[in-house]
Structure 1
């Protein structure tokens, strides 16, 4: 048997309007299931007698205190906070959700902070590592390129000449590295240029031990003449004369081989005679005659004592040290000529005024051509005039 009952014949709205509702505090009015009357029930979060007021009426349920008929409302680990009415569940640190046992519960937070920290640390460590890897790769590529140029420019052949099996036959020269010369010349700074011409540019370099050197950087290199270049380099290394600039070494790790000579600080004879009129007074007749003798001695040495004579003499190829001692250098367009040949045909290169008419006309270079060029230099010393005067 179902027993249904209701209060009066008015529904909730009618009872509220007539102020005749007998529902107590913290209770709600509910229309009866039948066509008339109403009932009272405690609001959500309250429990007690719905028709009474005060302590005997509907009171806060205090969900956070488990009762015999109620289980703990929050998931394990969550903290329950009682409200009037109702309650809240606070998820523990590091989790998210509402903490209700029958709600979203608590789940671990997405570790955004940890991910950000890990990302920053990884980037901080990875960036230097990538830079070091890139730097190491660049150095490796540079080493491979230098090794390629070294082989291409006859480095292996040069090493054979200076191998221990040669004994004391060949005087060793230093083989400079490209990095060493780049550092010595401040990456070939224009302010370090000592001179330039058709055969290349000469830079002043300072080594780590303080020694000053002259680095000749040619404009180009003749292809397919590696053997000739190395043979000539070996012969140049054997030249030992006080009036000839010494070849200290070479560098084969660049696209164009570099030659390293001793540094002469006084400039060229041409500069001393023609560039600054005030400097001509510093060269006395005694100095001029001595310079002429020194040049003649150097040319005679090259013609008679070197197995492959070197040609082309001009005042710009004659360097002067601080004591005005002459040193023949930078042989320009000269070629290394086998001793058994009395002449060799070359292209029409050289400095006008120093070339003998026969060579200029036929291209046949002989020792007599050097004698002619020396005669022109001798006239420069005696007269102080340039080989070619432009009026």
Structure 2
């Protein structure tokens, strides 16, 4: 028994070292969303592409939704709405390989066109695809032949002419104009309609008609095909079957123009992996996502980019020592007991024992060396003492105790270092100041009105160490996890991505004041964790998602009660903002009001959330200038020009939310002409010509009275006034919406008005014939290149 234990202890150091070098294999990176089909035949379908609802990225442009026809011997993968047959998809290169039929004209013996075939026009506009200008060429075969293609307006884009020589004078070479010609295509081409120019034979055309071919072609084709198949072009000139050729399409996320614009709206940002970055598209507007250096996989999924284990790859620089994989990189060190450069053969040499002893005394050895030379011998001594207790009792004990003490000293140093780091972050994040505020509030430093300071371990335990399946959302300021505290309370834990440069006391004071907000339509801040570099915030959990997904999701609105629900949500959201502006002390400005920041519980009660951009209302002019934050489409134009966030900035953003509720259109929509991309501008121009009713969702329009429609239109236009001074206060907006709600469902003739003033207001609303007037002042008019102000 003693001998067996001694053998185990003797082998233990080697076993531990080996375990440190071997890491369990990671599962292969996920390429599709959970539960979605990942292949069509032998073609892998990586997200953002997908088959079926919820499996592809749906951002208002087409192309990512695919369908697989399994009825063919080899299943066909095609794009929904565009009919392009796909043979390969690549996330890394941003390319799609597809099939396209050539356009062919065949002539009879009299020279007349006897047969035409081909794929016709290919329309890719409003999609995520463009024809690749670097990987494709327009090719014209046969002679005499002028092949070209046009754009959507019918204008010439690119083409070339091929002429044949007599056979005895045929010239060897590539596709340079003799029986075959090629031309480059410009960038950003999203429409292809090919034509062959028929050139009737005339007198004096000996060059054109010295030699002719029966069939003539024009087609787009991958450049690589042309270079490898040119020697076989003769066989295509007289074939009667359809000719299908490979082409390359460049794809990108194109609902915004570039990375800078995309990063402003983190809710819609396509680069989901934390280990990814954005690159601008090189062909047309848009952007793509790539995994960071040292990572590979799918950057469009949350955990899509995985660390590359360079130590297992032969193509990496050679390592003749101990290779250790690290996140995004690796290290190559000489084995224990040697030193030198492990990246070249014979670069590691045995260490001088006196030098290492000096390092041990001065405490400058690394962790691996400390274990091998101190802890392992200590275990070895224990094993030998158990086998030969008497003969080694004096000498071995004297060797073991110092080694054992060094080991525990090392562990103690590491533990104290971790404690000091946590304390440092706690102080930098204002923890001490926050505790003082809480203590002065109710005499304790642990809780103030339900507000708690959590440890990092508390939140790790609540989220299963921030497991991927606990993620419930991603916002502009971080990732939100669903957590369950020890007392079984379900919470939402926000793990921020960025470090705010706010002063310590200011941040702590804002956290304390936000914790005191107690309103049924505001998400409650329950606590925070300050012992990490970027503080984590703990909120009450709201179960039914965001208003954005309720409006634009596939679930739809309930027939007959859609407008009632939308109006109630608008009233509740407005009351929450009015409370923060008027009743909180000091007043609180939200700074990023949008439908994605309004949550809905199981009863569809609205709760305003995400105070990542919120600020306490400044008390002096010097503090009013702030870095512009928020979301494109909702930002107050005055705020953009002055960098001064005010309560009227929230009013403008709320006006956009009202528009989004009523129209069920997104605040920014990049399909169609440029003037239609902004919902606000589109609505203002429609009001100007009296066509704003046509923009409303048809279901909502059918449920509201004409008086309610005009009243809410007037309110929206006041909220969206370019001048902040002309906008109503949030309190007035909430009151006005509540009055409209009562009027809609309790007409004036039957209403039980609370006051004569309210009754008179409702009567005025019913009887007023609202006239919309525009004067050259504030609101931009893009058609006339002038400015206008709205009034009634």
State the TM-score, normalized to the length of structure 2.
0.32
Tell me what 2:485 maps to: 207
Counterpart Cα distance in 2 of 1:339 and 1:309: 12
Counterpart Cα distance in 1 of 2:384 and 2:524: 69
Report how far residue 190 of structure 1 moved.
2.3
Tell me what 1:308 maps to: 587
Report how far residue 184 of structure 1 moved.
1.1
- Relative to structure 1, is the Cα distance of residues 235 and 359 closer, same or farther in structure 2, using a 3 angstrom cutoff? same
Report how far residue 134 of structure 1 moved.
6.2
SS at 1:179 equivalent: helix
Report how far residue 345 of structure 1 moved.
2.1
5 Å-filtered alignment, 1:226-245, equals: 226-245=504-523
Match 2:425 to one of 139, 149, 161: 149
Counterpart Cα distance in 2 of 1:128 and 1:354: 63
SS at 1:245 equivalent: coil
Tell me what 2:556 maps to: 279
Match 2:649 to one of 360, 363, 369: 369
Contact 1:353 1:388 (8 Å CA) reproduced: yes
- Relative to structure 1, is the Cα distance of residues 352 and 124 closer, same or farther in structure 2, using a 3 angstrom cutoff? same
SS at 1:293 equivalent: helix
Query: In the TM superposition, what whole-angstrom CA distance separates every residue of 1:205-246 from its partner, at most 9, and x where no partner exists?
Result: 111222111111222223461111011111101111000000
Tell me what 2:300 maps to: none
- Relative to structure 1, is the Cα distance of residues 183 and 129 closer, same or farther in structure 2, using a 3 angstrom cutoff? farther
Contact 2:481 2:492 (8 Å CA) reproduced: yes
SS at 2:588 equivalent: coil
Tell me what 1:194 maps to: 472
Report how far residue 159 of structure 1 moved.
1.2
Tell me what 1:381 maps to: 661
Tell me what 2:456 maps to: 178
1:390 is aligned to 2:666: no
Report how far residue 385 of structure 1 moved.
1.1
Counterpart Cα distance in 2 of 1:124 and 1:145: 32
Tell me what 1:345 maps to: 625
- Relative to structure 1, is the Cα distance of residues 115 and 332 closer, same or farther in structure 2, using a 3 angstrom cutoff? closer
Counterpart Cα distance in 1 of 2:475 and 2:562: 29
Tell me what 2:602 maps to: 322
Contact 2:588 2:616 (8 Å CA) reproduced: yes
Counterpart Cα distance in 2 of 1:366 and 1:113: 76
- Relative to structure 1, is the Cα distance of residues 129 and 181 closer, same or farther in structure 2, using a 3 angstrom cutoff? farther
Larger strand share, 1 or 2: 2
SS at 1:157 equivalent: helix
- Relative to structure 1, is the Cα distance of residues 157 and 202 closer, same or farther in structure 2, using a 3 angstrom cutoff? same
Contact 2:589 2:646 (8 Å CA) reproduced: no
Counterpart Cα distance in 2 of 1:320 and 1:234: 25
- Relative to structure 1, is the Cα distance of residues 131 and 244 closer, same or farther in structure 2, using a 3 angstrom cutoff? farther
Counterpart Cα distance in 1 of 2:492 and 2:579: 23
- Relative to structure 1, is the Cα distance of residues 188 and 325 closer, same or farther in structure 2, using a 3 angstrom cutoff? same
Report how far residue 302 of structure 1 moved.
0.7
- Relative to structure 1, is the Cα distance of residues 117 and 164 closer, same or farther in structure 2, using a 3 angstrom cutoff? farther
Counterpart Cα distance in 1 of 2:623 and 2:517: 21
Counterpart Cα distance in 2 of 1:382 and 1:237: 33
Report how far residue 301 of structure 1 moved.
0.3
Report how far residue 195 of structure 1 moved.
1.8
Counterpart Cα distance in 2 of 1:217 and 1:155: 17
Report how far residue 317 of structure 1 moved.
0.5
Query: In the TM superposition, what whole-angstrom CA distance separates every residue of 1:39-76 from its partner, at most 9, and x where no partner exists?
Result: xxxxxxxxxxxxxxxxxxxxxxxxxxxxxxxxxxxxxx
Match 1:160 to one of 436, 449, 460: 436
Tell me what 1:56 maps to: none
Contact 2:425 2:531 (8 Å CA) reproduced: yes
Report how far residue 382 of structure 1 moved.
1.2
Contact 1:251 1:257 (8 Å CA) reproduced: yes
- Relative to structure 1, is the Cα distance of residues 208 and 131 closer, same or farther in structure 2, using a 3 angstrom cutoff? farther
Counterpart Cα distance in 2 of 1:230 and 1:311: 17
Query: In the TM superposition, what whole-angstrom CA distance separates every residue of 1:165-192 from its partner, at most 9, and x where no partner exists?
Result: 7669x64621101111111112222222
Match 2:528 to one of 250, 265, 273: 250
Contact 2:456 2:531 (8 Å CA) reproduced: yes
State the TM-score, normalized to the length of structure 1.
0.63
Contact 2:588 2:614 (8 Å CA) reproduced: no
Provide the aligned C-alpha RMSD in A: 3.3
Counterpart Cα distance in 2 of 1:308 and 1:342: 17
Query: In the TM superposition, what whole-angstrom CA distance separates every residue of 1:112-131 from its partner, at most 9, and x where no partner exists?
Result: 98774548x99999999998
- Relative to structure 1, is the Cα distance of residues 113 and 208 closer, same or farther in structure 2, using a 3 angstrom cutoff? closer
Counterpart Cα distance in 1 of 2:451 and 2:567: 33
Match 1:299 to one of 563, 577, 585: 577
Report how far residue 151 of structure 1 moved.
1.6
SS at 1:345 equivalent: coil
Counterpart Cα distance in 1 of 2:661 and 2:502: 40
1:261 is aligned to 2:539: yes
Bigger Cα displacement from structure 2, 126-135 vs 195-204:
126-135
Counterpart Cα distance in 2 of 1:245 and 1:281: 25
Contact 1:309 1:338 (8 Å CA) reproduced: no
SS at 2:615 equivalent: coil
Contact 2:634 2:656 (8 Å CA) reproduced: yes
